[in-house]
Structure 1
Amino acid sequence: MRRDIIDITEILRKQAMRHHYITIVGTGSHREGFRLLGSDRDIMSWSNHLRVIWDLNQARSYRMRQLLILADSSDSPPGYTLLQSLTTPVITDYLKLPLIRINDKLYLSSSLNRILEMELPGSFEHGPCSSGVILGMIEYDRASCYASDFWPPSASSWIERCHSWPHPSVVDEIVTNGCHFAAIGHKLGNHENTEWRISFCTAELKLVYSMSHIQFLVYGLLKLFLKEVISSRLGEEGKLLCSYHMKTAVFWVLQENIMPYWNPQNLLQCFWVCFKHILKWVYEGICPNFFIPENNMFLTKIYGNSQRTLFQKLYTLYESGLESLLHSPSIGQHLKVVLENPTLRVSTDERSLVTEFDFFLELLSEVSQNDSHGLHSFRWCINLLKIVEQLVNLPLTQNHVAMLQKRTAFILKCIAFMFNMYTATKVNKIKYIADKISIQLLKLAVKFGFDSDLLYIAMYYYKTSRHVKALSVLKMTMKRFDHEYLIYNEKPCIHPRNLPKQMKPVVTQDIKLLKNICYLNELRLEQCLQQKRPSFLLIPPHVMIVLLEFLCYKQTNLVDAMSVLFVLQSQINSHPDIFPESTRGISWEILGNCQQMLGYTMDALYSYQQSLQQQGGPQIQIATIVRIIIAIYKILGIYDM
């Protein structure tokens, strides 16, 4: 399910950006389908105008507009290469390529490339990647690479080895897609700061996709064993091994056909074979890269005293046998039951392990996470809608359909508000037609999206001064939210094993306001002055209901407007399920904004101060400070509201 969601998302993104200068793809464990606690998001990007070739004859495959780079691995360790620029100085200056001169030739410097990639505040260098935290919680590793459409000559032996695994069609697809170059050199190479590592990230993803369910479970078990046992219990030496070594071990075991059968009954046996493979590598001090075996991935990391100590500690685990897995907090208790009952039949079928309701929640979570990409312009939205229309005609899984429906709802909402922005005309007929189209698009978005999407209709009615209609939609929304099976941000109010067949859950999520679209003039300051990333503002649906109620009542009934604010203030601290910590900053901010509109400046100042103290505050901190300054000026009589 997770792979289906990410796959269809990337197809959408690639199609939309096919004429763009850069390609961005997800890699790593998250892209493979794992959701391990504490794991980061791996992102890889490369220029579409630059391509690496291995031989000058390969230049004939390209048009002149694509700039070429020549890979020269003659003076580099296996798995690494120099990248020589073949373009003119004028073009390289325009592209700001990280060039240095070696023997009268221009080469791309991996170390300079890493420095140039430190663009986000708080980012730091982590291997070939720029690492940091977005949204205050999601850790990321972003690798800026260069792409080659050709398979590396040094990896040609891998093609010849692929007799039993993977399937020939997978091999052909991998070779056709070429490789990439990550910005890090070999520590023992002659040009450490200039060399680039040959990366097979996309090839590895296809290999993981080609695994059977049991093979994938063994790979996941190795990752858990590494994280929760080896790294956490074996001291500093245990941290020398990484997840990539585990993946490589699984690849070698599969290709060498050491285990002819992979099934639920011998899952632990398959795991143990892979672990012994790693133990053997540590003993020998050699971990051969799966594609280029001459590249020993232990060479600069696991050797000498650290190698001997690591082997001794791993051998202690080996002597404990499968009982060493009991040290894993995630699987220890489950494994204990299996080890105590050898004849127990264990199911690995997700449908029997995960309830229907839990699967539904996981689907919601994946869909919501992958629907976070912003839409840049009206033309971009229309283009995406056309791509969705084309994809609908393809054979799709239910997971694909769910993702496309959610994405379509988001696109329709953006188009509706953009259409209203771009048709500011005095011609009544044009305004009437534009208005009808916008409303129909928003109603269609509700059918495809979540129940909380009704609030976009209410926002639109308020923005176009139809306060009675806006209040009517709000009343209908609140009636929907008063439901036994309400789900907010993938968290249900109650958690049944399975939903009654006649009962449909009410799904709500935070209201997303993109920075480049004006939804409400009253929130424009928060939208414009938020940090560069993310490019959207998240508001809890219950807060949005109160805000819209207040704005509508403010035009007709101040008493009702004041009572609405009183309810909001009393609920922010008393209902953490409705107002989670991450959104309390914007909730207090909106409360203060409303109080300031009514002239309660001192109350507004208190609310703004509360907003600054919240964990979710940094996203709107600048806007909050500006509103505090305005409030103080108001008290001093300097600023006229």
Structure 2
Amino acid sequence: MNAMRDNLSSDQSKTIITSGSYGEGLEMRGSDLDIMQVYKSIKVIADKQPDFDTSITYLSMDTDDVKPGFTQLRLEYSRLQYDLECCEEHNGEHYFSSALWMRNTLLCGNKDNQIHGPCISDKEGVLDVAYTLHCRTWISSAVNWITRSSSSWPSHDVIQSIINHGVLFVPIGVKGSPKEDIEWRVSFSVAEKLLINTFTHTQLICYALLKIILKDGIANDYECKNLLCSFFLKTIMFWISEELPSAVWKPDNLIPCFMRCFSRLVYCVEHSVCLHYFIPENNMFENKIVGRARDVLFKKLNKLHSYGWRCIFFSDQISNFDVAMWYFPIEPFTLYANDVKKIVQSRMLYIANDCLESYSELDIFNTGILHNIWSHQFSLKHLYAYYISQRCSKLAQRLPLDGAIINNKYKYKQYKSCLSTLLMNVYHDAVSGWLMVVSLFYKTKQYRKALHIIRYSISKCTPDKLFFGMSLSDINYQSLKLQTFPKKSVAYLLKIMFVDSIRLTADSTLTPDELSMEGRNITHLFPSIAYAYYLSFLCHHHLNNVRQCQDSLEGIKLVIAESYLIQN
């Protein structure tokens, strides 16, 4: 789902990459959503000169007197004013400034956003976006990694995929460096995702347990809170995965594997050394895990380590884990229901899908996109269709829609274009897509047509339906068990059983006039069932159906009182 959403969010100007724990397939408690935007209008040259394009800004790496893992980016060519404004002159050369890049990016975005390390974060702190640059060539400082490993991990194919991608650069320098403002950190984020995708289940559990220990056993201590991060744990996992034969990482060895990883973390802190996996010359603990900070952290880790594998029970995520299910055979339905539960309760999935609406417009009729979709296997086609459907709601709301009566050729063409786009919006859930069609009929004064679809939509809002943030009830479990969903794709389940919210964007052409009476152009978010009754009330009002207006109002009151199909 991350890959599908990233592909459809990317365009000719930038590539979107979901990164961090969620991008790696782990949704941890308290984690945020990390997104990388890679700008295609700027290219970093490592060794060879690419084919020259006057519309591209070219930068070259300069690693003289820079800490390993970091670089300066010297300006080679640009005619873009925005990029030129991000440059600083040093010793007669112009360098692309990470500090100016971050400042200018922040100024172009939401005024409530703030700088968080190399990222721009929203005011709630749940979304971190890193605006990055790309070099397609594998850099020389990491060339030894290609041939270093003599084990079977990672495989030759994975190594080749990593090399072919190249590296990224994130806008942050070495803290305290005299050139900090013009330094960039080399990022192997995509390479790390490719490596984690090769993990066995046992490796992934070890990685997750280390992150849980960090979150619930170490970071909750005030003096240790900001000393370690997930990236250090991931680095340790990579080194041990390279050292051990792949056959070791099996379920029967889970505890020894986990304790080996934990022991390595203790060793690294004791000796203040954690070597970057791709650039070992970069000791990431240098000037960080030292002095009193190191002593406090080492004491804390030693205490946890003394409990052996049982140290995981210091986390309530583990101590409260329901182990009863392990004493009985696990039915396929139980596993499927647990997957459904994860989807509807996933905070990260909700935020990530919401972010899809924020990126540039998708040309759903682009032949290149369609060819890319239909070249994938059957299950992935359904996921593409799910996200395209979700995207069509926003596209339709931006189409011009003049007047209410379809009485001339131009208006009729506008109407048909909007309707056809909205009909593609009915494939990602059971209700909201149809209610967007109702919005179109209401705006064009086709009240009877609108009421017909409203009745159909309300009939779909049954107690067994799913929505984001819910807790599955007995009705939901029984419904899932009776249906043939386990044999279907996730996208099929969402289309049949899921009830999404209605999002009317600012300046939407489909927003009912009654919602715009205050004269403010704002985004509206409504539960589908409540919006259905609201549109029913408006349609009956225009048709002078007084009794039906009262019934619709009673419906809204009941939905609100019972919080029926309403996200918390």
Structure 2 counterpart SS, 1:499: helix
Q: 2:30 aligns with which of 38, 47, 54?
A: 38
Q: 1:395 aligns with which of 344, 360, 376?
A: 376
Offset, 1:370: 4.8
1:452 alignment partner in structure 2: 432
Offset, 1:385: 6.0
Change (3 A) 1:141 1:433: closer
The yes-or-no answer on 1:107 pairing with 2:95 is yes
CA distance in structure 1 between the aligned counterparts of 2:111 and 2:481, rounded to whole angstroms:
45
CA distance in structure 2 between the aligned counterparts of 1:336 and 1:441, rounded to whole angstroms:
48
The yes-or-no answer on 1:409 pairing with 2:389 is yes
**Uncovered stretches (5+) of structure 1, i.e. residues with no partner:** 339-343, 582-641
Q: How does 1:616-627 map to 2 (within 5 A)?
A: none
CA distance in structure 2 between the aligned counterparts of 1:414 and 1:335, rounded to whole angstroms:
41
CA distance in structure 2 between the aligned counterparts of 1:385 and 1:567, rounded to whole angstroms:
45
Q: How does 1:442-591 map to 2 (within 5 A)?
A: 442-443=422-423, 445-446=425-426, 449-481=429-461, 483-489=462-468, 491=470, 492=472, 494-496=475-477, 498-501=480-483, 506-522=497-513, 525=516, 529=520, 536-557=523-544, 559-560=546-547, 562-564=549-551, 566-567=553-554, 570-571=557-558, 574-580=561-567
Change (3 A) 1:490 1:446: farther
Preserved CA contact (<8 Å) 2:96 2:182: yes
Q: How does 1:164-563 map to 2 (within 5 A)?
A: 164=151, 165-187=153-175, 189-232=177-220, 234-237=221-224, 239-257=226-244, 260-334=247-321, 355-363=335-343, 370-372=352-354, 373-374=356-357, 380-383=361-364, 386=367, 389-396=370-377, 398=379, 400-413=380-393, 421=401, 428=408, 439=419, 442-443=422-423, 445-446=425-426, 449-481=429-461, 483-489=462-468, 491=470, 492=472, 494-496=475-477, 498-501=480-483, 506-522=497-513, 525=516, 529=520, 536-557=523-544, 559-560=546-547, 562-563=549-550
Q: 1:85 aligns with which of 75, 83, 86?
A: 75
Preserved CA contact (<8 Å) 1:72 1:84: yes
Offset, 1:448: 5.8
**Match of 2:166, as an amino acid?**
G
1:15-48: CA deviation from partner (whole Å, max 9, x where unpaired): xx1x22x333221111111111211111222321
Offset, 1:573: 5.1
Structure 1 counterpart SS, 2:186: strand
1:591 alignment partner in structure 2: none
Preserved CA contact (<8 Å) 1:225 1:328: yes
Change (3 A) 1:462 1:523: same
CA distance in structure 1 between the aligned counterparts of 2:399 and 2:99, rounded to whole angstroms:
46
Aligned residue pair count: 550
**Match of 1:33, as an amino acid?**
G
CA distance in structure 2 between the aligned counterparts of 1:476 and 1:572, rounded to whole angstroms:
17
CA distance in structure 1 between the aligned counterparts of 2:130 and 2:527, rounded to whole angstroms:
33
Preserved CA contact (<8 Å) 1:385 1:408: no
Preserved CA contact (<8 Å) 2:435 2:532: yes
Change (3 A) 1:231 1:431: closer
Offset, 1:389: 3.0
Change (3 A) 1:241 1:526: farther
CA distance in structure 1 between the aligned counterparts of 2:300 and 2:265, rounded to whole angstroms:
13
Q: TM-score, normalised by structure 2?
A: 0.86
Structure 2 counterpart SS, 1:519: coil
Instruction: Please say which of residues 197-206 and 235-244 is displaced more in the overlay.
Output: 235-244
Instruction: Please say which of residues 116-125 and 261-270 is displaced more in the overlay.
Output: 116-125
Q: How does 1:28-177 map to 2 (within 5 A)?
A: 28-55=20-47, 58-87=48-77, 91=79, 93-119=81-107, 120-133=110-123, 139-164=126-151, 165-177=153-165
CA distance in structure 1 between the aligned counterparts of 2:322 and 2:341, rounded to whole angstroms:
26
CA distance in structure 2 between the aligned counterparts of 1:184 and 1:439, rounded to whole angstroms:
46
CA distance in structure 2 between the aligned counterparts of 1:519 and 1:358, rounded to whole angstroms:
37
Offset, 1:495: 3.6
Identify which of structures 1 and 2 has the higher relative contact order when contacts are C-alpha pairs closer than 8 Å and 6+ apart. 2
Offset, 1:6: 0.8
Tell me the C-alpha RMSD between the 2 structures.
3.4
CA distance in structure 2 between the aligned counterparts of 1:369 and 1:94, rounded to whole angstroms:
30
Q: TM-score, normalised by structure 1?
A: 0.77
Instruction: Please say which of residues 446-455 and 317-326 is displaced more in the overlay.
Output: 446-455
The yes-or-no answer on 1:7 pairing with 2:6 is no
Preserved CA contact (<8 Å) 2:405 2:445: no
**Match of 1:207, as an amino acid?**
L
Preserved CA contact (<8 Å) 2:57 2:80: no
Structure 2 counterpart SS, 1:35: coil
Preserved CA contact (<8 Å) 1:376 1:516: no
**Match of 1:500, as an amino acid?**
L
1:209-242: CA deviation from partner (whole Å, max 9, x where unpaired): 122222112111111111111212x441254111
Offset, 1:275: 0.8
Structure 2 counterpart SS, 1:82: strand
CA distance in structure 2 between the aligned counterparts of 1:207 and 1:294, rounded to whole angstroms:
20
Preserved CA contact (<8 Å) 2:505 2:524: yes
Change (3 A) 1:346 1:256: farther
Offset, 1:274: 0.8
Structure 2 counterpart SS, 1:26: strand
**Match of 2:118, as an amino acid?**
P
Preserved CA contact (<8 Å) 1:147 1:180: yes
CA distance in structure 2 between the aligned counterparts of 1:527 and 1:176, rounded to whole angstroms:
54
CA distance in structure 2 between the aligned counterparts of 1:174 and 1:106, rounded to whole angstroms:
30
CA distance in structure 1 between the aligned counterparts of 2:412 and 2:115, rounded to whole angstroms:
54
**Uncovered stretches (5+) of structure 2, i.e. residues with no partner:** 486-492
**Match of 1:72, as an amino acid?**
D
1:292-314: CA deviation from partner (whole Å, max 9, x where unpaired): 11101011210112112211221
Instruction: Please say which of residues 550-559 and 239-248 is displaced more in the overlay.
Output: 550-559
CA distance in structure 2 between the aligned counterparts of 1:93 and 1:382, rounded to whole angstroms:
28
Change (3 A) 1:220 1:523: farther
CA distance in structure 2 between the aligned counterparts of 1:130 and 1:369, rounded to whole angstroms:
16
Change (3 A) 1:259 1:333: farther
